[in-house]
Amino acid sequence: MNDYLWDRNGGDAEIERIEDSLARYRYIERPFVLRHPMAVVTKHARLPLYMSPAIAAVLVIAIGLLIWSMMPGKAALTFVALEGAPRIDNIAVASAKLYVGSRIETGNSDRARIQLRGIGWVQIEPGSVLTLIEAGAERQRFRLERGELRAQVNAPPAVFIVETPAARAIDLGCAYRLRFIPGGESMIEVTDGWVEIDHGFEQTLVPAGAMAWFTVNRISPAYMNQTSPDFRDAMLQWWRAQDEPTRRTALARALSRATRSDAFTLLNMLRRSRPEERPAIYDRLARFIPAPPEVSRSAVLAGETNAEEAWWPVIERELGLGTIKKKGPLRVDPYWPN
């Protein structure tokens, strides 16, 4: 008789479904790392008396190092090579503890994963350079010089941060993909929760199912992956346009292609628009989701600071974008890339 539960022969749809569901918890094969040189000590081995002070000194140093390593900011994260031969500080490593200043580099066929302390993991994709710059219990911060990473984080807002030379990604939970291309357009795509991408005083909140582009100077409006290619292309053309006619034409096309599900993007566009563009964007957005009474059309068109603030939660609720964890435990200063 078939007994899939016992020997995995045959099949059982229900058990296989549970197995698939639990696969994310499965052990990932990795080499065993002896962190210290070791010798097997036999049960009856005796050490010469003169060795005792030396052993005591070694123990004191070891305990000191252990306490030092557990201090905030000194906490180690775990690095594991998944594919190829990724390097830490130019040395190929299969697995190791990471410390502040550790620089990870992956070649074209390398992939690695960092287990964050208690809040999730970061996967480093091929062709990337990533440096750990803060590793405390309250904040774990990296700098992505180039390449791509995927993060899965379950932590209060602003505990996990990735900086790039163009902008900074502040995790508001849960999962995202970040690609930084030096000198080019970089991208963030959020698959769960929210991520804030910011640069100086410009910021974009990117919800699950949305993405945004950024360069050294600018961050695009976030847009939903499911939006129509027509709207997406026109909106991005508007954002990228270098000349007035192109910008004007692209805006007109974007507004005509927009649907109710693009309301979040339209509000993003409103925030980045020029005075002469605002009436058209405002009116198009208001047709899909009317502004709440606290939002004054004239104040928004005049570009008053935070004039459209009360519109955000209405749109987020109407589109079912989920709640943002508004405040983390820590203040985040403006980020000025260098």
Partner 1 sequence: MNHDWQGSMSDEAGDAELARLAQTGDRDAFAELYRRYAPVVHGLLLARLPWHEVEDQAQEVFIAAFHRLASLRDPGAFGGWLCAITRNRAIEFLRTRAAVEELSEEAGAKCSSDVAESAEALAAIRALPESYRETLLLRLVEGLTGPEIAARTGLTHGSVRVNLHRGMELLRRALGKELQS
Residue 32 in contact with partner 1, rule: CB under 8 A: yes
Pick from 2, 33, 303, 306 the residue near partner 1 by CB under 8 A. 33
Residue 34 in contact with partner 1, rule: CB under 8 A: yes
Of residues 18 and 54, the one with the C-beta less far from partner 1: 18
Question: Which residues ranging from 85 to 124 are in contact with partner 1 (CB under 8 A)?
Answer: 115-116, 118-120
Residue 23 in contact with partner 1, rule: CB under 8 A: yes
Stretch in the footprint of partner 1 (CB under 8 A) among 149-157, 162-170, 285-293, 307-315: 149-157
Pick from 13, 42, 201, 326 the residue near partner 1 by CB under 8 A. 42
Helix (H, G, I), strand (E, B) or coil at 57: helix
* Close Cβ partners of 338 (under 8 Å, ≥ 6 residues apart): 165
Residue 78 in contact with partner 1, rule: CB under 8 A: yes
Residue 173 in contact with partner 1, rule: CB under 8 A: yes
Q: Give me the count of residues in the chain.
A: 338
* Contact criterion met (CB below 8 Å) for 241 and 247: yes
Structure tokens at 132: 């750990």
Of residues 28 and 91, the one with the C-beta less far from partner 1: 28
Of residues 75 and 289, the one with the C-beta less far from partner 1: 75
Taking the mean position of all CA atoms in its chain, how far away is CA 3? 43
Pick from 1, 11, 13, 29 the residue near partner 1 by CB under 8 A. 29
Residue 63 in contact with partner 1, rule: CB under 8 A: no
* Contact criterion met (CB below 8 Å) for 310 and 292: yes
42: phi then psi, degrees, rounded to nearest 5: -75, 160
- Relative to beta strand 160-163, strand 140-153 is parallel
Structure tokens at 174: 């849960």
Cα dist from 279 to 28, 47, 297, 338, whole Å: 55, 86, 9, 36
Question: Which residues ranging from 179 to 238 are in contact with partner 1 (CB under 8 A)?
Answer: 191-193
Of residues 292 and 329, the one with the C-beta less far from partner 1: 329
* Minimum distance from residue 327 beta carbon to partner 1 (Å): 18
Taking the mean position of all CA atoms in its chain, how far away is CA 262? 23
Whole-angstrom distance, CA of residue 306 vs CA of residue 304: 6
* Contact criterion met (CB below 8 Å) for 172 and 119: no
Stretch in the footprint of partner 1 (CB under 8 A) among 32-40, 85-93, 197-205, 254-262: 32-40
- What residues make contact with partner 1 under the rule CB under 8 A? 5-8, 14-15, 18-19, 21-27, 29-35, 38-43, 78, 115-116, 118-120, 152, 154-155, 173-175, 191-193
